[in-house]
Amino acid sequence: MKTNFVISSDMKKIQMVDLKGQYNKIKQDVDNSVLEVLDSTAFINGPRVHGFQKNLENYLGVKHVIPCANGTDALQIAMMGLGLEPGDEVITADFTFAATVEVIALLRLTPVLVDVDPVTFNIDVEAIKNAITPKTKAIVPVHLFGMCANMEAIMQIAEQHNLFVIEDNAQAIGATYRYSDGRKAKAGTIGHVASTSFFPSKNLGCYGDGGAIFTNDDDLAHTIRGIVNHGMYVRYHHDVVGVNSRLDSVQAAVLDIKLKRLDEYNAARQKAANAYNKAFSGQDHIITPSRQKSCSEVCENCDCHVFHQYTLRVLNTDRDALVKHLNDNGIPCGVYYPIPLHLQKAYMDERYNEADFKITNQLVKEVISLPMHTELDDEQITFITSTVINFINS
Ligand SMILES: *Cc1c(COP(=O)(O)O)cnc(C)c1O
């Protein structure tokens, strides 16, 4: 039997992401910041972009941040900067947003999709090892849903085989990675180069499109600064084939305000995740998101996971019926991702063998992402969790 929960008339409407609620709290600061840019008319590469770049470098503890137009460009430019060439094989996860594999294919590199870990949802280290050939040139771990891939193992493999590591950090900005010896590093500062996205719904989102590339390598940073600007290092001298990919000053003005609150925002996401976890504990058919394996099991308030998404696995349950039930009750939710990349028309390849994608093939049927943002309150979380539990046990 399905109990119908009555939404109290004053409960805020539940949204997958509440950009408006967040904006209302910082409206004055954001408006002033944006108006300053309008007044300055320095719309492209103005001091605001430079200022944000420096602030982000300090926040991350990385030598170079190179802002660009979006997270997809950031990935592409990182690969161009490394000098990858057509035919080079690039290993990445089968279970991610398509942007990751898209840019590999666009550059005429050869994408090599591999399976993921069922607990962390991140790229499987053994699968990486099995996929390495003499043509392999790079690995692109995606820090899916807000938690770093197993970077320690990945960097070791990369060193052994002389490969580049490009972190796709679109979903984990602000997350901290813990090495087995206790050392820490911010997500996106561990590989040779990293990309991120400032798409509005990301953990650090602007009010349009934006992205950035991070690296600690001075030479690579120099190369990339030219690539984002038509391959120019000296005005009107085009040394390499580049692109036009810029973060505009209005977006930088928004990002600068939000960067100051990023830790607070990520803490709000963790708080919501903890409340979800608590409500779902003891539910046999629900697997809640894991934290970083090297982190303690009870790292409730640590930042090893910044919950870009709060993603459950639901077992022995008709996941799509659950989605419909939640939607019918005014609860938006997402299925990230419903189709493995190796089964997408654009990326199918006869080299792939279904047996190698057991986990991804399973996850696409079980995952469901619940509303996750900085403005969720207890009443909303209680309503969401009871609606889920009620459906699963009915
Ligand atoms: C959002 C996202 C991107 C692309 O970012 P855009 O700014 O939308 O281009 C790339 N990879 C992952 C994993 C993402 O989540």
171 C-beta closer than 6 A to ligand 1: yes
Residues 246 and 323 in one domain: no
125 C-beta closer than 6 A to ligand 1: no
Residues 199 and 187 in one domain: yes
> What confidence category does residue 302 fall into, taking pLDDT thresholds of 50, 70 and 90?
confident
CB 344 within 8 Å of CB 241: no
199 C-beta closer than 6 A to ligand 1: yes
Residues 115 and 167 in one domain: yes
Residues 371 and 301 in one domain: yes
Q: Is residue 15 part of a domain?
A: no
Pocket test for ligand 1, best of 123, 147, 171, 245 (most atoms within 8 A of CB): 171
Give me the CATH number covering residue 55.
3.40.640.10
Looking at residue 270, its pLDDT comes to 95
pLDDT in tens, 45-86: 889 999 999 999 999 999 999 999 999 999 999 999 999 999
Q: Of 259, 288, 316, which residue is a domain's last?
A: 259
Q: Is residue 249 part of a domain?
A: yes
Alpha-carbon distance of 288 to 55, in angstroms, equals 34
Asked if the model's pLDDT at residue 22 lies above 50, the reply is: yes
Residues 307 and 382 in one domain: yes
Q: Which residues of 283-313 are buried (b: 16+ CB within 10 A; e: fewer)?
A: beebbbbbbbeebeeeeeebbbbbbbbbbbb
191 C-beta closer than 6 A to ligand 1: no
Q: Is residue 6 part of a domain?
A: no
Looking at residue 78, its pLDDT comes to 98
Q: Is residue 17 part of a domain?
A: no
Residues 134 and 282 in one domain: no
- SS3 percent helix, strand, coil of the chain, rounded to 5, is 40, 15, 40
Cα 196 to ligand 1 centroid, rounded to whole Å: 7
Q: Is residue 3 part of a domain?
A: no
Q: Of 212, 236, 259, which residue is a domain's last?
A: 259
Looking at residue 394, its pLDDT comes to 87
Looking at residue 9, its pLDDT comes to 65
Residues 91 and 103 in one domain: yes
Number of structural domains in the chain? 2
Which two three-digit tokens encode residue 287? 């697997």
Cα 28 to ligand 1 centroid, rounded to whole Å: 29
Residues 249 and 266 in one domain: no
Report helix angle 19-40 to 47-60, nearest 10: 130
In the chain, % of residues over pLDDT 90: 92
142 C-beta closer than 6 A to ligand 1: yes
Residues 166 and 313 in one domain: no
Q: Is residue 2 part of a domain?
A: no
Cα 1 to ligand 1 centroid, rounded to whole Å: 40
Residues 72 and 118 in one domain: yes
Q: Is residue 5 part of a domain?
A: no
Residues 246 and 382 in one domain: no
Alpha-carbon distance of 66 to 57, in angstroms, equals 9
Q: Of 259, 280, 307, which residue is a domain's last?
A: 259
CB 257 within 8 Å of CB 360: no
DSSP string, 204-226: S--SS--EEEEES-HHHHHHHHH
Q: What range does the domain containing 294 cover?
A: 262-392
Residues 322 and 215 in one domain: no
Q: Is residue 8 part of a domain?
A: no
pLDDT in tens, 162-180: 999 999 999 999 999 999 8
Relative to the CA of 75, which ligand 1 atom is closest? 10
Cα 72 to ligand 1 centroid, rounded to whole Å: 6
Looking at residue 182, its pLDDT comes to 85
Ligand 1, atom 14: closest residue by C-alpha = 170
